Structure 1
Amino acid sequence: MTTDIVVPELGESVVEATVGEWRVKVGDSVKVGDVIVELETDKVDIEVGATAAGVMADIRHPAGSDVRIGDVLGTIGGDGATAAPTAQPPQASTIATTAAEPAAAAKPADKATEKEKATPVARRMAEAEGVDLAQVSGSGAGGRVTKQDVAARVEPDGAPVTTSAPTTAPTPPTQPAPTASPLSASPTTARREERQRMSRRRRTIAQRLVEAQHTAAMLTTFNEIDMGAVMELRARRQDEFVKRYGVKLGFTSFFVKAAIGALKAFPRINAEIQGDEIVLKYYYDVGIAVGAEEGLVVPVIRDADRLSFAAIESSVRDFAVKSRDGTLSLEDLRGGTFTITNGGVFGSMLSTPILNPPQVAILGLHNIQERPVVRDGQIVIRSMMYVALSYDHRIVDGREAVQFLVRVKQLVEDPEALLLEG
């Protein structure tokens, strides 16, 4: 009797995936719940587990293959006929071991445990660089190893870092080494190339960004915001806020609240185009763009208009942790009516963000810098931020876009006004 391993439901609007890493090979024993293979989708990585105990009989789609929902990835044989020869009795078909070979059976389980404590990207990087994951301390949630942890174990020249000292000192050359010609190439100056397969997420990001530019009449308008009032309020209330809610009061919650206030005033910016119709949305699911290991993702704060500043900041913090650890779910990324992206965290002064289809607008935030500005006829130094709104000119007029951004500016520069927006 054999059991098929099939591609499961992948989530809303996701019908295809790419086979990532196979955790087992043909002949390996598996038990119910063991992770068999990873699938990469354009949103998250999915681990497919065994639904029956037995022996891995065959693998039909190797790593890198594109598959669809319902495709058979491989099969598990229940009778153990295809297993590699072992000292176990013929009737043993599960991962349970006999006293004759405890070490041989325990090794795959230890290896699986070692892999499960690392993110998929970290595992692939460790394999490519020859790093033993058992020797890497994880900085992610629950001690999970991240890409950055693996990178810290690799020397600049790509060799894994070792902690043991050489047992013998190197023997000096009997003759002086010849002086290299200034024109001769050395290993440090040789041009090096590396070819990497694009992940499904990166391919999808590339496709969607190009489609956004080809299908939308995209335009961007700019403004600048005096962040002094928000910065003063944060400094004054930060300690009390952290003590009460257990999370810091950042800038994101102010912009989420301000954006919702402006969206209520200009509902077409919270809409989408479906055929010849405009769908106006009177709920506010705000996406927050986050730079993940394998590309930009946009987890969504649902019904953000009903949330407090603390709830919004908690959601942003949780998304950042999940993104770093590779644990964002499909539900985290589903939908969204409007997106905010903050290039300022990387030092960006000005940019034109690209739309996140089918949304028709995206708000870009940037770095805060002290600049001389004129106030009441006097030149003063203020903490200023440039903001950008990219929008689909097919349904959003320039007047609406400019007024939307002005409304965001007014609300952020007068934080007390946000209370009136609910």
Structure 2
Amino acid sequence: DSITEGKLIEWTVAVGDYVEVDEVVARIETDKITVDVNMPESGTITKLLAEAEDNVDVGQDFFTFEAGPAPEGGAKKAAAPQEDKPAEAPKAEAKKEEPKKQAPAAAPKAAAPKAAEPKAAAPTPASFDSRQETRETMSTMRQRIAQRLKDSQNTAAMLTTFNEIDMTNIMALRNKYKDEFLQKHGIKLGFMGAFLKASTSALEHQPMVNAFIEGNEIVHRNYVDISVAVASPKGLVVPVVRNCNQMSMAGIEKEIGRLADLARNNKLAIEDMIGGTFTVSNGGVFGSLMGTPIINPPQSAILGMHGTKMRPVVTESGAIEARPMMYVALTYDHRLIDGREAVTYLRRVKDVIEDPSRLLLEL
């Protein structure tokens, strides 16, 4: 789960630039996040030891500098982006407009009424000519995700079990207290906090789901660190909410909010991404009805939440009612976790969400 290398995606300075302490010198893309490399102290860049797109190792030196005050009339690194901008494609696009100006200059449009039908047929072959394929290098993050997910499929004996949850009571609880919760805690009351709290309770009841295999040993944990998928400018990232077993629902909601803010601003640190004993993924925010999530190794299980839909439900009295229902899926490593433990875990999550008072009464 540790990070050992990354790709140098860009330099923001050039040799001879004077850079103030803590200013960004370069950006490195790891398999988890994009990291800014800051100037350790003010000085002038003397040598760049790596080029953009090079792979760099953790702890590797890839530039040198001479510490000291700014030289008189010294170039600032702001000059570099100014040179890049004229080199980019917008001016090339301006040149492409010239043929467009010649097109209306050719007078055939005056004769268009006579040849209107033949000209209407012309775009058809042109559309075939416009078909093309483009290629791009996979980012370090995407390559690592692809590798890890394939390794997960090749290593774990993955199996998925499903259940459905009646969201009526948890939705009523949220609607009743959301304004008061926001006023007191400064964070919106969502459903992720409830699901993380329910997952934590279920993991404590079924600790094998929180364990993992290392070699020929089973590693048990007495803590619960839940990885939560959140959106970022670079795509989905999975920061970790640590010590969920020691946190209140309000504390969990605050931590999710803090991590989500960091993700949106591309400021997640590597430390925010490392670790995690279990993962909760909410595909419902994208409209997912049902799915089978893939385990994030070395974890042994992942809970998938899905969209809440109104569906007919037969109540205990035999009546048919429309209820807000959510499908949930637990994918688990069958080498470690038996079906009984997986089903019991998922049933515990269902019971807590459908009747949140169970947590209050410790039932």
- 2:334 matched residue in structure 1: 393
Tell me if the contact between 1:28 and 1:56 (Cα under 8 Å) persists in the aligned partners.
Answer: yes
Give me the TM-score of the superposition, normalised by structure 1. 0.75
- 2:130 matched residue in structure 1: 190
Distance 1:159 1:174 in 2: 22
Distance 1:261 1:193, change over 3 A: same
Distance 1:355 1:159 in 2: 46
* Equivalent position to 1:71, from 51, 57, 60: 60
What is the DSSP-based 3-state SS (H/G/I as helix, E as strand, rest coil) of the residue aligned with 2:108?
coil
**Where does 1:142-161 land on structure 2 (aligned, <5 Å)?**
none
Distance 1:372 1:332 in 2: 41
Tell me if the contact between 2:12 and 2:80 (Cα under 8 Å) persists in the aligned partners.
Answer: no
Distance 1:128 1:374 in 2: 62
- 1:139 matched residue in structure 2: none
Higher relative CO (Cα under 8 Å, sequence separation at least 6) belongs to 2
- 2:45 matched residue in structure 1: 56
> For structure 2, which runs of at least 5 residues remain unmatched after alignment?
95-100, 113-118
What is the DSSP-based 3-state SS (H/G/I as helix, E as strand, rest coil) of the residue aligned with 1:273?
strand
What is the DSSP-based 3-state SS (H/G/I as helix, E as strand, rest coil) of the residue aligned with 2:125?
coil
- 1:285 matched residue in structure 2: 225
> For structure 1, which runs of at least 5 residues remain unmatched after alignment?
1-11, 79-92, 99-103, 115-122, 132-157, 161-169
Distance 1:130 1:410, change over 3 A: farther
- 1:46 matched residue in structure 2: 35
Point out the structure with the larger helix share: 2
- 2:116 matched residue in structure 1: none
Tell me if the contact between 2:279 and 2:296 (Cα under 8 Å) persists in the aligned partners.
Answer: yes
* Equivalent position to 2:70, from 79, 88, 95: 95
Distance 1:34 1:204, change over 3 A: same
Give me the TM-score of the superposition, normalised by structure 2. 0.86
Distance 2:59 2:269 in 1: 20
Tell me if the contact between 1:52 and 1:76 (Cα under 8 Å) persists in the aligned partners.
Answer: no
Distance 2:335 2:89 in 1: 49
Distance 1:357 1:385, change over 3 A: same
Deviation at 1:52, TM superposition (A): 5.2
* Identity value in percent: 45
What is the DSSP-based 3-state SS (H/G/I as helix, E as strand, rest coil) of the residue aligned with 2:131?
coil
What is the DSSP-based 3-state SS (H/G/I as helix, E as strand, rest coil) of the residue aligned with 1:184?
helix
Distance 1:327 1:51, change over 3 A: closer
* Equivalent position to 1:259, from 199, 219, 224: 199
Letter in 2 for 1:175: A
Q: Is residue 351 of structure 2 the alignment partner of residue 410 of structure 1?
A: yes
Letter in 1 for 2:324: S
What is the DSSP-based 3-state SS (H/G/I as helix, E as strand, rest coil) of the residue aligned with 2:285?
helix
The one-character-per-residue Cα deviations of 1:339-392 (angstroms, maximum 9, x if unpaired) are: 100000000000000001111011000000000111121111000000000000
The one-character-per-residue Cα deviations of 1:147-181 (angstroms, maximum 9, x if unpaired) are: xxxxxxxxxxx979xxxxxxxxx795250247361
* Equivalent position to 1:335, from 256, 275, 280: 275
The one-character-per-residue Cα deviations of 1:134-158 (angstroms, maximum 9, x if unpaired) are: xxxxxxxxxxxxxxxxxxxxxxxx9
Tell me if the contact between 1:202 and 1:295 (Cα under 8 Å) persists in the aligned partners.
Answer: no
Tell me if the contact between 1:288 and 1:298 (Cα under 8 Å) persists in the aligned partners.
Answer: yes
**Where does 1:302-321 land on structure 2 (aligned, <5 Å)?**
302-321=242-261
Distance 1:356 1:403 in 2: 21
Tell me if the contact between 1:227 and 1:413 (Cα under 8 Å) persists in the aligned partners.
Answer: yes
Deviation at 1:255, TM superposition (A): 0.8
How many residues in Structure 1 have an aligned counterpart in Structure 2?
345
The one-character-per-residue Cα deviations of 1:74-106 (angstroms, maximum 9, x if unpaired) are: 32356xxxxxxxxxxxxxx743434xxxxx846
Tell me if the contact between 2:295 and 2:302 (Cα under 8 Å) persists in the aligned partners.
Answer: yes
What is the DSSP-based 3-state SS (H/G/I as helix, E as strand, rest coil) of the residue aligned with 1:176?
helix
Deviation at 1:338, TM superposition (A): 1.0
**Where does 1:208-227 land on structure 2 (aligned, <5 Å)?**
208-227=148-167
Q: Is residue 188 of structure 2 the alignment partner of residue 248 of structure 1?
A: yes
Distance 1:385 1:276, change over 3 A: same
Distance 1:129 1:293, change over 3 A: farther
